[in-house]
Homo-oligomer: A and B are copies of this chain.
Amino acid sequence: MTSGTNKLRVAILGASGYTGAELVRLLAHHEHVELTLLTADRHAGKQLGDVFPHLGGLGLPDFLHIDEVEWAGIDIDLVFCALPHGTTQEVIAGLLHATGHDIVDELVAERREDVIAGLSKDVKVIDLSADFRLSDFETYAEWYGHEHLAPVLQPEAVYGLTEFARPALGETRLIACPGCYPTSSLLPLLPLIDAKAIESDGIIIDAKSGVSGAGRSLKEATLFSEVAEGVHPYGIGNHRHAPEIEQEVSRAAGTAVTLNFTPHLVPMNRGILATIYVQLSGSSSADDLREVLKKRYDNEPFVRVVEQGAVPATRHVRGSNHCLIGVFPDRVPGRAILISAIDNLVKGGSGQAVQNMNVAYGFEETAGLAQEPMFP
């Protein structure tokens, strides 16, 4: 932080996507943050308000192309990376000066020397892409179609599901924020796996997402008329968030877990609802699961376990960093149903990134995130 403002000097790389815009929305009035750099390659040279008219009155800096940034001369404390999957590893490797890594050596040799020279050793990176979420290199390569481009950095990455990562967040230079679907799935699952209240086998996650999760890039599949007035599954049996969920569930279970994850696209802008079908352990009941979760999340500012009978809905978390969780008995004996609801762009994306920042820097955890949900 510069002494002058006493605020964290923050850059957002990739600020012209929905996740980037959401970071701006949440950080614009954050008492400890000053947004000093915004990049957006396709929109370089434009004002924020040209690309996102709703943010046009904030007086923030114009978009730069990432290659235009003169890192050497810029004083930055924290970088949020909201770049497309697969493009962040190189950028972050450069940013963090991961010397000793071949690819970074090449980067240094070729074109990022200035980056590395200019960055303070204390810069932190909070990455919203999938690039540093998977700790196993083979799994990464299998699901993302290329070798990891910054393997020496990966071990430093902390998987930033805030409620389970707090102690490590302040220590690391690199926080890998979870995907939206994994966030909605892991918050209800992890405490139950940890308490051995449910079996780790046979978990089925049927998830429903709003369309903003697909981003702002041009795809026929996300045109209004392709999505409105309909619902459909996609990535059945092979969505990239499956291995990410399995990684964390396996860690909690202490054994390798394979599970079903089936996402669906719903005609709404925001929101993820996860309906999770689980097998109870031993003699535990749905009420027992609810108690485990209530106890675990009792003091959490953003996770709320609803009372028996209440039903989480995405519209009850819209625009907020909240996660609502409900537990229901299945009519099939020995089984239960978990329901969780988040806003994919907030707790499932930019909000959790800000929450991670707050924890990492010792700010109040709700700073910038105190807005109540917007309904209707």
Contact = CB atoms under 8 A, between A and B. Distances in A.
Interface string A304-340: 1010001111111111101010001111110101010
Contacts of A337: 236-237, 260, 262
A260 B330 contact: yes
Interface in A198-228: 202, 204, 206, 208, 210-212, 216, 218-220, 222-228
Size category of the binding interface on chain A? 35 or more
Interface string A348-376: 00000000000000000000001111111
Copies in the complex: 4
Interface in A100-145: none
Given A219-B218, A264-B275, A313-B230, A28 B332 contact: no
B231 A273 contact: yes
A282 interface: no
B260 A314 contact: no
A269 B223 contact: no
Contact of A224 (B24, B222, B232, B370): B222
Contact of A53 (B260, B268, B306, B339): B306
Interface string A234-246: 1011100010000
Interface of A: 18, 21, 24-25, 28-29, 52-58, 202, 204, 206, 208, 210-212, 216, 218-220, 222-234, 236-238, 242, 258-260, 262, 264, 266-271, 273, 275, 277, 304, 306, 310-320, 322, 324, 328-333, 335, 337, 339, 341, 370-376
